[in-house]
């Protein structure tokens, strides 16, 4: 199995888990955040929804210069809007990965912020660290937000405390 085939399987699984979490977002609390330095709930959801596009950018480009001044973050206002944004980003990433060879993924990739290089690695490593690990990290952060807001969590890698049945003697 090639690196891209492995990534495709992983992206499908992580996207499905992310869709489950997106399906329980209480957008009536969109501006809520657990700490003054934290992102607001809707901004965190939007950030997670943006991440699959990074896979596409990494596959298609050898470097990416992130222009902070022109960046407009995605801040959804509903579950439907979130999924309508996220799902096509996932599909595009899957298509690009399917066209990518191991040799392509061995090529160096760099991320710059306004001309200053902040990360450089082979594309496969950039996809793992900047996309998959980043997605999983922020999705876990989002589940903490949801737990604090007393939202029942769907299972991701197995049952949650909300799925467990308490047995009595």
Tell whether pTM > 0.85.
yes
pLDDT score recorded for residue 69: 78
Rounded to a whole number, what is the distance in angstroms from the first to the last CA of the chain?
49
Distances (CA, A) of 75 to 3, 21, 27, 146: 32, 16, 11, 17
pLDDT score recorded for residue 20: 97
Nearest alpha-carbon partner for 61 in 18, 103, 110: 110
Class of domain 3-148 (CATH, top level): mainly alpha
pLDDT score recorded for residue 165: 54
Mean pLDDT of successive 10-residue segments in the chain (169 residues)? 97 98 98 97 98 97 90 97 98 98 97 93 97 98 97 92 65
Domains of the chain, by residue range, sit at 3-148
């Amino acid at each position: 199995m090639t690196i891209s085939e492995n990534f495709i399987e992983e992206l499908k699984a992580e996207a499905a888990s992310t869709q489950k979490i997106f399906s329980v977002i209480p957008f009536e609390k969109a501006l809520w955040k657990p700490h003054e330095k934290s992102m607001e709930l809707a901004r965190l959801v939007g950030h997670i929804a943006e991440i699959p596009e990074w896979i596409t950018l990494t596959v298609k480009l050898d470097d990416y210069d992130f222009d902070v001044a022109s960046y407009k973050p995605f801040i959804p206002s509903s579950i439907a809007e979130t999924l309508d944004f996220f799902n096509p980003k996932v599909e595009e990433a899957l298509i690009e990965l399917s066209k990518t060879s191991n040799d392509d993924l061995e090529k160096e990739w760099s991320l710059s912020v306004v001309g200053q290089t902040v990360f450089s690695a082979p594309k496969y490593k950039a996809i793992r660290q900047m996309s998959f690990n980043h997605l999983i990290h922020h999705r876990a952060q989002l589940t903490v937000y949801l737990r604090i807001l007393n939202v029942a969590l769907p299972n991701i890698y197995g049952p949650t405390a909300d799925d467990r049945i308490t047995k009595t003697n």
